[in-house]
Amino acid sequence: MLTDQTLVTDAACAASLRDLAMRRLAPNGRNYSVWYEYHEGKNFALRHAIDQHLAAGATIDEAEMHALHGRFLCDAQQDRLLSENRLLAQGTLQEVVALLSRAAVEHSQSGHVIAEAGRSLAEDSSRLANVVTALLAETDAMSRRGEILGRRLDAATRQISGLEKRLSVARHEATVDPLTELLNRRAFDAALQRVTQQAAATKEPLAMLMVDVDRFKRINDSWGHPVGDAVLRVVANKLRQSSRDTDTVARYGGEEFVVLLPKAPLAEAMMVADRVRLAVCGRNLTLRDTGKVIGTVTVSAGVSIYRPGEPVADFLTRADEALIQAKQSGRNRVMTLEGAMA
């Protein structure tokens, strides 16, 4: 059964192979991954970089492909996976190129056979039966070659699709926290660099929330780590539900979470943080298996606003210091140190 995602995957795969051939790039896993990510459209930073490169009329050669892969796709897990599958990827892609080249040669040869038949018919119309027989034979041979080529191309495409799925799993594992399914610290750091650069360029506001579960050690000590994990998942879900599609929500470490809110002024960010706080503390948590009541869990939050041109570390520090102040002021509250900017 075809799905929208299947169609997108197939289209991205075909477009990637076309780009490799058109730009005379080596059909290896690295080059294919860059073009696949570009055509799939989910890696916005990579797509923007390539679009800018193309708009400037610059050549995308092997050196540029290596640079793009290093900037936007390279991570330890992907490198490991690509290394393990390099021969498969390179062999499969080279087979596709060879099959297409062979098809072009065979098509050319068939053209010669047909042209020769036409010349023979023009020279001697009495040879019509022989000419027709030759044409039918060549047509049948073309059909058989086409079927064989189609099957081999289909098998090669399935191999490439399987590799892409494995790469997708590796990318997911490298950027997503397995417990909460939020972005992990590494993915957040990359997003932070990107959105602060965008905010500096557009002069639009950018807010950050630092959210921490209050007295989390007591929860673990009293109820055990599985309950603590369940609490973290609850908080993660509340953060996810309270955020927009354009926001970045991540587990920063331990029981601490962070949210980046592009185009959100301080007042709006404070409202979002308080909405999360109320959503978490507004319910009594119970153990599903035993029915025992854990009670109310609360969170504290610190909010900061990015100041264009400042070091990213300062942006983070103000949110963290505001969170510390919220903890010291009694917990279960939202604080900011922005002062005059409020």
Ranges of each domain in the chain: 4-175, 185-341
Which two three-digit tokens encode residue 338?
């922005």
pLDDT at 47: 81
Which two three-digit tokens encode residue 108?
């050319």
Query: Which is catalytic among the residues 255, 256, 310, 321?
Result: 255
Sequential pLDDT tens for the chain (342 residues)? 334 444 445 677 778 888 888 888 887 767 887 888 888 877 766 787 788 788 888 888 888 888 787 767 655 445 545 444 544 454 555 555 555 555 555 555 555 554 555 555 445 444 444 544 554 555 556 666 666 666 666 666 666 666 666 666 666 677 889 899 999 988 898 899 889 999 999 999 999 999 999 999 999 998 889 899 999 999 999 999 999 989 999 999 899 999 999 999 999 999 999 999 999 998 788 877 777 788 899 999 999 999 998 999 999 999 999 999 999 999 999 999 997 343
256 counts as catalytic: no
Torsional sign, CA 128, 134, 137, 139: negative
CATH number given to 185-341 = 3.30.70.270
Distance separating alpha carbons of residues 234 and 239, to the nearest angstrom = 9
Distances from the Cα of 309 to the Cα of 197, 202, 248, 312, angstroms: 9, 12, 21, 9
Radius of gyration over every alpha carbon of the chain, rounded to an integer in angstroms: 29
C-beta of residue 206 within 8 angstroms of C-beta of residue 196:
yes
pTM: 0.57
